[in-house]
Structure 1
Amino acid sequence: MPIRAVVFDFGGVLFDWNPDYLYRDLIPDAEERAWFLREVCNPAWNIQQDAGRSLAAATASKIAEFPEYTRLIEAFYGQWPKTLRGTLPEGMALLDELGALGTPLYGLTNWSAETYPYAEAHYPLLQRFRHIVVSGREGIIKPDPAIYQLMYQHISSDLPDIHPGEIAFIDDSAINAHAASKLGWVGIHHHSIHHTRRDLLAGGIALQQEPQHE
């Protein structure tokens, strides 16, 4: 079945987000900074905000655990825009090309409901998507099948006769891409723009062939 709709993850595909961008100034020592982002304000803690926990509750819980790092913990969300450097050129070029082809585009992102409005206000590219499912607003995160099923409901309301196998999902997380595949979608693990383009081409999307080597 040819691909008829493409769903984008945002961080690591279209957006260049990394807490290290903020903490390079706050913790100049690379080893200390790596430890802090691994043991204190780490991905396991951050993902809970993507699942709906409030930033205030998250900050308070982490300060209670590491009171000696109060200032640095408060900075994570207090200065959050500094963690978002901008967009990723290769991902944006793919988005532009798919848009020019008239491909229906959707977004499915693990993102806090409280920080996502910053992206909405500063990145007009989000207006290109027919619908965006934001995990923090729904209280569920990838790879929970429920969030993919919610996305599918929105897609099928636009394209009533679409089959799961006609939907491609691009995510920089192999786990999240595989979860889409288990539901019958074309899950694409975005670890190289060339691989992503190749998979879309194989699915029938009329992208331009790239002469570049890996």
Structure 2
Amino acid sequence: MKSLVFDLGGVVVVWDPVAPIAAAVGPERAEHFVHGGEFDFAAWNRAQDAGRSWDDAEAAAIEAHPHLAAEISAYRRNFPLALPELVPGTSEILGALRSRGHRLVALTNWSAETFPHAPQRFPEVFALFDDVIVSGVEGVAKPDPAIFLVLGRRLGHPLDGVLFVDDSLPNVDAARAAGMDAVHFTGAAALSCELRERALID
């Protein structure tokens, strides 16, 4: 049996931050809010991934950007819309690994408050994981090296050689620095090849 560690958003579950906001203000305004540059959505959201509460996050953002109050409040309120589907092919890979007796652990950058929507939306996939480590619960997010110390404690054994899969190159680099065998996820087909090379699936 081997332990394998998977990121969730962009690897197992599709994450679309525009959709919850578009439900309130329309797609054009939502796209501008998330990707337009006036508001640093990535940095704002990352603080919640690292443990900041959504009440504090929304209050600070609305104070700084009162003209974006509708966009700011819409994301959490409509969050289930951010999870439209599973990433094609990954759940089948997880099932194949599980059938081989491997231990599956998720290590995700996710707010503690919004994370419960994911297992509610995809219970059959989350049932494949032996453990899920949520950055917002731990108060530290990838690629901070401290999150890999948390992972090691949860696994109960050294990280050396443990396979880690993530769609973020900084996270992959951090995992390698922690001694892991890290794979940059670009799709299920490429991941299957990586796993076959390691004799983890047929």
TM-score, normalising length: structure 2: 0.90
In structure 2, distance between residues paired with 1:29 and 1:204: 44
Contact 2:94 2:128 in 1 (8 A): no
Aligned equivalent of 1:34:
31
User: Aligned residue pairs: how many?
Assistant: 199
**Per-residue deviation, 1:86:** 2.6
**Per-residue deviation, 1:99:** 1.1
5+ residue gaps, structure 1: 209-214
**Per-residue deviation, 1:195:** 2.3
Aligned equivalent of 2:133:
133
**Residues 1:167 and 2:162 are matched in the alignment:** yes
Structure 1 residue identity aligned to 2:33: F
In structure 2, distance between residues paired with 1:140 and 1:95: 26
Aligned equivalent of 1:49:
48
**Per-residue deviation, 1:29:** 5.4
In structure 1, distance between residues paired with 2:118 and 2:187: 24
Q: 1:11 to 1:29 in 2, by over 3 A?
A: closer
Contact 2:20 2:82 in 1 (8 A): yes
User: What are the superposed Cα offsets for residues 104-146 of structure 1, whole Å, 9 maximum, x if unpaired?
Assistant: 1001000001111222333322232111111000100001111
Q: 1:165 to 1:113 in 2, by over 3 A?
A: same
Structure 2 residue identity aligned to 1:77: R
Query: Which residues in structure 2 correspond to 1:174-193 (within 5 Å)?
Result: 174-193=169-188
TM-score, normalising length: structure 1: 0.85
SS of 1:87's partner is coil
Aligned equivalent of 1:211:
none
Q: 1:166 to 1:78 in 2, by over 3 A?
A: same
Contact 2:163 2:180 in 1 (8 A): yes
In structure 2, distance between residues paired with 1:123 and 1:45: 26
In structure 2, distance between residues paired with 1:60 and 1:52: 15
**Per-residue deviation, 1:85:** 0.9
SS of 1:166's partner is coil
RMSD value, Cα:
1.9
Contact 2:24 2:70 in 1 (8 A): no
**Per-residue deviation, 1:102:** 1.2
Q: 1:36 to 1:42 in 2, by over 3 A?
A: same
Structure 2 residue identity aligned to 1:180: A
Q: 1:149 to 1:24 in 2, by over 3 A?
A: same
Structure 1 residue identity aligned to 2:79: W
In structure 1, distance between residues paired with 2:54 and 2:26: 25
In structure 1, distance between residues paired with 2:53 and 2:70: 18
Name the larger-Rg structure.
1
Aligned equivalent of 2:74:
75
Contact 2:18 2:27 in 1 (8 A): no
Contact 1:5 1:166 in 2 (8 A): no
5+ residue gaps, structure 2: none
Q: Which residue of 14, 17, 37 corresponds with 2:12?
A: 14
Aligned equivalent of 1:148:
148
Contact 1:41 1:76 in 2 (8 A): no
